[in-house]
C-alpha cells in the first residue's frame, strides 16, 4: 500500500521506517524541516532501537502535504498532544487540572483536511494521537472534509523501542467511524503482523488508550508502596515479594476482576486493605495507598446508592436491592458491597429492602413495581420477570431487556453491540 505520514517526529518516523521495511511505499510531511535533514543525513538525533540501520537504507519520500495526499492510500496522523511543563510529572501535582493541548493536532488536521478536500478523492485518515474520550467527535470531526474516512488507532509503544513495539504489538486498537476504512486498515496491518485487532467506538478507543497508561501507573505505585514498606520492615525484600506475585497468572496477571460492577468483598479484601492501612500509618509510609483504595470503593458504592435513591424519588417507587452476598452463587455476606450500600443509604434516613435468593427463604419481592438494584450478579436474577412499570439498575450489564421495564445498564452509554469480539 501507499502510506502517508502527517508528522515524522519521534513516533511517526520510527513507525514509517518499520512500515517501509515491510515493503510499503511511504511518504511523509512535517512542518519541521529538521526532519528532512534527518532523512538526508540518515542520522537520528535521538536513541531508537533498530532505527539507525533502517534509516541508513530508507527510501521515505519527504514531500509537501498536497503531494503526500495524492500519493497515499492511508494517512497516519501522529501529531503530539502535549501538556504544559507543570503537567508532565516533573513537578508537584498542581491544584488546577487541564486537558491535553490539542492545538497542534487540530491545526495539522485542518491543513490535511483542506488538502484532501482540494484533491477531491476519498482518503483514509488514521489518527494516532493520545486524546481524552470525546475529543475526536467533539473537537475534530466537525471540521473534517467529507472526503476523509476516519479511524482512531492509538499505538501502545514506548519511546526508544517504537519500531519493535509497532511491529510486535499486544494488539491493534481501532476506533471505528467508517466501516470500509477499518477493513482497509485491517488489511494493511495483516501485512505487518498477525496480532489481534480490537474494534470499538472511537470514544471507547480513546478511553482504552489512556486507561492502559494509567493501569501501568497503578502497577508501579503498588510495587513502590511495597518497596517502601519493605524498607521499614524486617526480613522483607521487595523483589522477592513481587516475584511471588508474578506467579499469580490466573487472578492477578489475567482478565479476572477487570469488568466494572460492585466493589470487592469477602473475608479478605476489605479487611486486608484496612489492616494494611493501619500498617502504613504505623510505618509512617509517605502515602496510605490502601486507604485511598478503600475510599474509592466506598465513594463508588455511595454513588451507586445515590443513583438508586434518585430514581426512586423520581418515580415514586420503593428502592429494592437484589443481592446480599459478596459475590455470585454464594451465600456468604462477609464484606458485601451490597450491604455497604444499604448501610450508606440507611445513614440518609432511608430504609431499603434487600433480598437474596441464596439467603432468604421467601419469594422474591416481585409483586409490586419498584426500582430494583442488582447488587450481586447472581445468574438467577436474569430469570426474574419484573412488574411492568419497574426500573432495573444493573451495574453488571447482565440483565436482559423486558417489555414495560426500564433497564439502566451502568457504564454502558454506547449504541454499539456489547461484548465486541476480537479479530
Which string of DSSP letters, residue by residue, matches 46-71? S--TTHHHHHHT---EE--HHHHHHH
286 located within any domain:
no
The count of domains in the chain is 2
12 located within any domain:
yes
- CB-based contact 317:370 (threshold 8 Å): yes
Cα four-point dihedral sign 198, 201, 205, 207: negative
Three cell numbers, residue 215: 493501569
Check residue 415 and give its pLDDT.
57
Question: pTM for this structure?
Answer: 0.88
> In this structure, are 42 and 181 located in the same domain?
yes
258 located within any domain:
no
423 located within any domain:
no
- DSSP code at position 140: I
279 located within any domain:
no
Q: Which of 191, 209, 227 is the last residue of a domain?
A: 209
Check residue 419 and give its pLDDT.
45
> In this structure, are 178 and 306 located in the same domain?
no
> In this structure, are 199 and 346 located in the same domain?
no
Question: How many whole angstroms separate alpha carbon 38 and alpha carbon 45?
Answer: 8
> In this structure, are 25 and 144 located in the same domain?
yes
> In this structure, are 321 and 198 located in the same domain?
no
> In this structure, are 42 and 143 located in the same domain?
yes
> In this structure, are 155 and 7 located in the same domain?
yes
- DSSP structure string for 218-249: HHHHHHHHHHHHHHHSSS--HHHHHHHHHT-T
- CB-based contact 323:381 (threshold 8 Å): yes
246 located within any domain:
no
Q: Which of 209, 232, 264 is the last residue of a domain?
A: 209
Check residue 97 and give its pLDDT.
87
Q: Which of 149, 177, 209 is the last residue of a domain?
A: 209
Per-residue pLDDT of the chain (423 residues; tens, 9 = 90+): 999 999 999 999 999 999 999 999 999 999 998 999 999 999 988 889 988 888 988 999 999 999 999 999 999 999 999 888 888 888 888 889 899 999 999 999 999 999 999 999 999 999 999 999 999 999 999 999 999 999 999 999 988 899 999 999 999 999 999 999 999 999 999 999 999 999 999 999 999 999 999 999 999 999 999 999 999 999 999 999 999 999 999 998 888 988 899 999 998 899 999 999 999 999 999 999 999 999 999 999 999 999 999 999 999 999 999 999 999 999 999 999 999 999 999 999 999 999 999 999 999 999 999 999 999 999 999 999 999 999 999 999 999 999 999 999 999 887 544 445 555
Helix, strand, or coil (residue 257): coil
> In this structure, are 52 and 169 located in the same domain?
yes
Report the CATH number at residue 11.
3.40.50.720
145 located within any domain:
yes
Nearest to 387 by CA among 409, 371, 372, 367: 367
280 located within any domain:
no
> In this structure, are 165 and 313 located in the same domain?
no
> In this structure, are 174 and 323 located in the same domain?
no
Enumerate residues 6+ apart whose C-beta is below 8 A from 276: 290
Three cell numbers, residue 357: 435468593
Domain range for residue 205? Answer: 2-209
- DSSP structure string for 309-366: HHHHHHHTPPEEEE--SSSTT----TT-HHHHHHHHHHHTT---EEE-TTT--SPPS-
- CB-based contact 151:178 (threshold 8 Å): yes
Check residue 418 and give its pLDDT.
44
> In this structure, are 205 and 335 located in the same domain?
no
Three cell numbers, residue 249: 497468572
> In this structure, are 205 and 306 located in the same domain?
no
- CB-based contact 7:197 (threshold 8 Å): no
Check residue 140 and give its pLDDT.
97
Amino acid at each position: 500500500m501507499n502510506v502517508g505520514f502527517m508528522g515524522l517526529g519521534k513516533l511517526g518516523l520510527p513507525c514509517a521506517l518499520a512500515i517501509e521495511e515491510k515493503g510499503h511505499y511511504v511518504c511523509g510531511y512535517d512542518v519541521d524541516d529538521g526532519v528532512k535533514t534527518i532523512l538526508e543525513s540518515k542520522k537520528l538525533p535521538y536513541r531508537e532501537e533498530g532505527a539507525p540501520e533502517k534509516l541508513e537504507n530508507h527510501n521515505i519520500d519527504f514531500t509537501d502535504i498536497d503531494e503526500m495526499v495524492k500519493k497515499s492510500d492511508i494517512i497516519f496522523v501522529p501529531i503530539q498532544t502535549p501538556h504544559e511543563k507543570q503537567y508532565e510529572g516533573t513537578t508537584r501535582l498542581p491544584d488546577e487540572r487541564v486537558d491535553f493541548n490539542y492545538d497542534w493536532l487540530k491545526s495539522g488536521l485542518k491543513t490535511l483536511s483542506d488538502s484532501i478536500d482540494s484533491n477531491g478523492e476519498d482518503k483514509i485518515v488514521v489518527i494516532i494521537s493520545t486524546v481524552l474520550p470525546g475529543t475526536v467527535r467533539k473537537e475534530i470531526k466537525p471540521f473534517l472534509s467529507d472526503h476523509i474516512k476516519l479511524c482512531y488507532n492509538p499505538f501502545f509503544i514506548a519511546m526508544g523501542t517504537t519500531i519493535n513495539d509497532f511491529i510486535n504489538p499486544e494488539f491493534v486498537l481501532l476506533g471505528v467511524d467508517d466501516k470500509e476504512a477499518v477493513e482497509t486498515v485491517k488489511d494493511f496491518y495483516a501485512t505487518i503482523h498477525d496480532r489481534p485487532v480490537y474494534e470499538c467506538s472511537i470514544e471507547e478507543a480513546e478511553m482504552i488508550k489512556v486507561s492502559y497508561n494509567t493501569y501501568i501507573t497503578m502497577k508501579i505505585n503498588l510495587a513502590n508502596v511495597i518497596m517502601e514498606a519493605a524498607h521499614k520492615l524486617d526480613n522483607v525484600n521487595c523483589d522477592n515479594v513481587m516475584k511471588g506475585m508474578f506467579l499469580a497468572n490466573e487472578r492477578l496477571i489475567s482478565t479476572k476482576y477487570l469488568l466494572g460492577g460492585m466493589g470487592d468483598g469477602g473475608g479478605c479484601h476489605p479487611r486486608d486493605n484496612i489492616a494494611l492501612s493501619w500498617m502504613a500509618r504505623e510505618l509512617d509510609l509517605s502515602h496510605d495507598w490502601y486507604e485511598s483504595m478503600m475510599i474509592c470503593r466506598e465513594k463508588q458504592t455511595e454513588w451507586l446508592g445515590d443513583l438508586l435513591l434518585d430514581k426512586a424519588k423520581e418515580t415514586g417507587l420503593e428502592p429494592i436491592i437484589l443481592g446480599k452476598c459478596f459475590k455470585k452463587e454464594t451465600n456468604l455476606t462477609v464484606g458485601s458491597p451490597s450491604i455497604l450500600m444499604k448501610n450508606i443509604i440507611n445513614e440518609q434516613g432511608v430504609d431499603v429492602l434487600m433480598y437474596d435468593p441464596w439467603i432468604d427463604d421467601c419469594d422474591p419481592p416481585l409483586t409490586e413495581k419498584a426500582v430494583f438494584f442488582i447488587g450481586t450478579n447472581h445468574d438467577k436474577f436474569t430469570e426474574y420477570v419484573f412488574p411492568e412499570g419497574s426500573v432495573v439498575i444493573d451495574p453488571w450489564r447482565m440483565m436482559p431487556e423486558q417489555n414495560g421495564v426500564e433497564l439502566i445498564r451502568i457504564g454502558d452509554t454506547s449504541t454499539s453491540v456489547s461484548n465486541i469480539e476480537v479479530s
